[in-house]
Copies of this chain bind each other. A is one copy, B any other.
Amino acid sequence: MLTIYSDDHRLHHGKSELNDGELKPCFECPERADIILDAVTESKLGDVIAPDNFGLDPIRAVHNPGYVAFLEQAWNSWTATGRHGDALPLNWAIRGLRQIEPETIDGKLSYFSFDASTPITAGTWKAATSAANVALTGAANLLQGESCAFSLCRPPGHHAASDYFGGYCFLNNAAIATQYLLDHGATRVAVLDVDYHHGNGTQSIFYERSDVLFVSIHADPLQEYPFFLGHVDERGDGAGEGYTANFPLRWHSSAPKWFDALDAGLQLIADYAPDYVVISLGVDTYIDDPISQFRLETPDYLEVGSRIASLGLPMLFVLEGGYAVAEVGRNVSNVLVGAAAGN
């Protein structure tokens, strides 16, 4: 299995996120990627390569160009107002408020985001575009015949929609890779999101399309962030009707219950018969994750990988969440080891 990784991820190191009514140190930190890289290397899964640079076109194929331009300029616009700490938004256009892009940087931050947990720093743009390249390089290798690749993306991506950031995510790496596969020969791609949190960004990007099947297993949005997407009745719209499947599970759901949902999701993917499966790989389903409420344990992740591999499809694993820093490396590498063995 090929792993794609870039040191650029370290350029994004947010100071704090809004949580529990306080600004706390960001759970989504550079150490996560370093520890995962170490575990992958120790597991002797295969080569670790640097990403190629695909430019902005594949990013703009998924994200609104105005949003991409905003992200590129955000830090400069923020510091031009005399502020030098991380940029965070002020307020949000919920029901009844108008979706009109303001002129000022505080207004733009508010318009293009949906939470206050995703600071923009001096290095965010470079790190986020590099993470997109990490995902794209994985996709390109699948197109060239690799059966399995791991894009060690950081910052993560699945909460980022076409035109907003949030949930530690700026560019939707998995969606960008998926679109790239479709734009280079694939007819159908399945995205399987096993992160603890619903992949609201990915769902919304592909919600009205039938060339992507989006399947997500996640904490019930009635209980858990991101709260406002991921219900079972969200099944796609228009041409996309029937091509979104959500498996929300209650807090403290057991591992067997989680695996039942995985099996149901894998069956949907098998029935869809895609050319590729892109896995949004979060391991915040782990029992000791500091911000999550599921109960998977480290050996379970071998089984996660093995069951996904049983599809017999080319697989691109794209890193999402997982915040139990000490165990995040082993949990991720176990998924990959399980997938490689079953491949």
Using a CB–CB cutoff of 8 Å, the interface residues on chain A facing chain B are: 18-23, 78, 83, 85-88, 90-100, 102-104, 106-107, 110-111, 114-117, 119, 161, 164, 166-167, 200, 204, 221-229, 231, 234
Contact = CB atoms under 8 A, between A and B. Distances in A.
Contacts of A91: 114-117, 166-167, 225-228
Contact of A23 (B23, B95, B227): B23
Contact of A85 (B20, B97, B102, B167): B20
A224 B110 CA distance: 11
Copy count, this protein chain: 2
The dominant DSSP class at the A interface is loop
Nearest to A98: B228
A228 B116 contact: no
B18 A116 contact: yes
Given A23-B23, A222-B107, A92 B90 contact: no
A228 B95 CA distance: 10
B119 A90 contact: no
Contact of A92 (B88, B94, B107): B94
Given A102-B227, A104-B223, A94 B20 contact: no
14 contacts: A18-B18, A19-B90, A21-B87, A22-B88, A91-B115, A93-B227, A97-B114, A97-B226, A97-B229, A100-B231, A102-B221, A103-B222, A107-B223, A107-B225
